């Protein structure tokens, strides 16, 4: 069963452009696909070219197929919802939760939880009832994530993340506990990242032509002797970016066994209370604390702030006590 959308052209323009502007909940890219699949008719005749010029007054009908069921199964997993409307949902992800199903994590993921939570409010991303994942956090990184519920929101948010905040719409800040104390109060790390040649599960800092641009701005927040708390702003969003960048300048994250294994002995410099708090972490001491973006429907600037989760808050308190 399909949904019928009908409209009358009010200007002489391209078919795909007209549809994308008239039906704001569906992206132009989605309409281009529907046109190519023979789902669009102008004056009763099927049109297969999105560049077809419309004349004023022509009737356009779109048969939008019902969104196919999502391949991942819905699972009743508790979510901390910070904000939700018909276009998107913002959640505070706990450490230990994988974002998307994959090898070794086919179930029990954020996507499975979102399919159950959002239900029929998912209108379909690319014709499939699924949440639109536009950015991710590592399994053991906690914090804020925004997810699109429909095709139009997915396109808008994807564009914002692709521009890396350089147009002023996107804002991302992280809190990270690092080993040692940087010599400066802040700085910028501009170092490319690529897959490690020795371990494909790891990323490596690199100046090679194949490395992807990665820029992290950081500021020292607090000093605790053997460790420090920093605030990071991302100008790009590469896999493991903060973890690799901080390890590259000699200050890997606490709890990061992948990039900070050489600092295991530094635990002895911590108080017994801090060592105990560190032992309760599920992984690296990293939290996505601020997320800002332009709402895809209203263009209103949205900004959310999530405090440290209990495990990181306990570590913070223990480090401050010495």
Half-sphere exposure of 205 (CA within 13 A, CB side): 16
240: closest CA among 280, 199, 290? 199
> Is the distance from CB of 255 to CB of 285 less than 8 angstroms?
yes
What distance lies between CA 35 and its chain's CA centroid? 30
Catalytic residue among 138, 140, 151, 256: 138
Which H or E run contains 155?
helix 151-162
Could you confirm whether 138 is annotated as catalytic? yes
Residue 246 C-beta-side C-alpha neighbours within 13 Å = 38
Beta pairing partners, 286: 176
Burial of 244 (0-12, 13-18, 19+ CB in 10 A): buried
Cβ atoms within 10 Å, residue 105: 15
Quote the DSSP letter at residue 131: -
How many whole angstroms separate alpha carbon 200 and alpha carbon 253?
20
Task: Give the C-alpha separation, 8 to 107, whole Å.
Answer: 45
DSSP-based three-state secondary structure for 57: coil
CB atoms within 10 A of CB 131: 25
Structural contact between residues 99 and 145, judged by C-beta atoms closer than 8 angstroms: yes
Reading the block at residue 147, the tokens are: 């997810």
Close Cβ partners of 3 (under 8 Å, ≥ 6 residues apart): 63, 64, 66
**Percent composition of the chain: helix, strand, coil (DSSP 3-state, to 5):** 25, 30, 45
Catalytic residue set: 138
């Amino acid at each position: 069963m399909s949904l019928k959308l009908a409209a009358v052209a009010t200007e002489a323009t391209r078919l795909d452009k007209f549809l994308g502007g008239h039906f704001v909940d569906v992206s132009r890219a989605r309409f281009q696909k529907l046109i190519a699949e023979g789902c669009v008719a102008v004056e009763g005749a099927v049109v297969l070219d999105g560049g077809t010029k419309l004349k004023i007054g022509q009737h356009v009908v779109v048969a939008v197929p019902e969104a196919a069921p999502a391949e991942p199964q819905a699972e009743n997993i508790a979510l901390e919802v910070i904000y939700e409307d018909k276009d998107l949902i913002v959640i505070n992800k706990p450490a230990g939760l994988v974002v998307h199903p994959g090898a070794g994590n086919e179930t029990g993921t954020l996507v499975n939880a979102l399919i159950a939570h959002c239900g029929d409010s998912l209108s379909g991303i690319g014709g499939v009832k699924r949440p639109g994942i536009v950015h991710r956090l590592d399994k053991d990184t906690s914090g804020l994530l925004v997810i699109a519920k429909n095709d139009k929101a997915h396109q808008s948010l994807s564009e914002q993340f692709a521009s890396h905040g350089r147009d002023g719409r996107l804002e991302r800040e992280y809190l990270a506990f690092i080993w040692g104390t940087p010599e400066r109060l802040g700085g910028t790390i501009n170092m490319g990242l690529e897959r490690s040649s020795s371990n494909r599960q790891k990323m490596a800092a690199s100046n090679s032509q194949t490395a992807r641009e990665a820029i992290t701005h950081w500021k020292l927040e607090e000093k605790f002797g053997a460790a420090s708390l920093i605030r990071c702003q991302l100008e790009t969003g590469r896999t493991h970016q903060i973890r690799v960048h901080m390890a590259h300048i000699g200050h890997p994250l606490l709890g990061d066994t992948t990039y900070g294994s050489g600092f295991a002995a530094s635990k002895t410099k911590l108080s017994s209370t801090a060592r105990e708090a560190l032992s309760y972490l599920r992984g690296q001491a990293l939290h996505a604390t601020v997320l800002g973006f332009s709402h895809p429907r209203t263009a209103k600037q949205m900004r959310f702030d999530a405090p440290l989760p209990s495990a990181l808050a306990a570590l913070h308190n223990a480090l401050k006590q010495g």
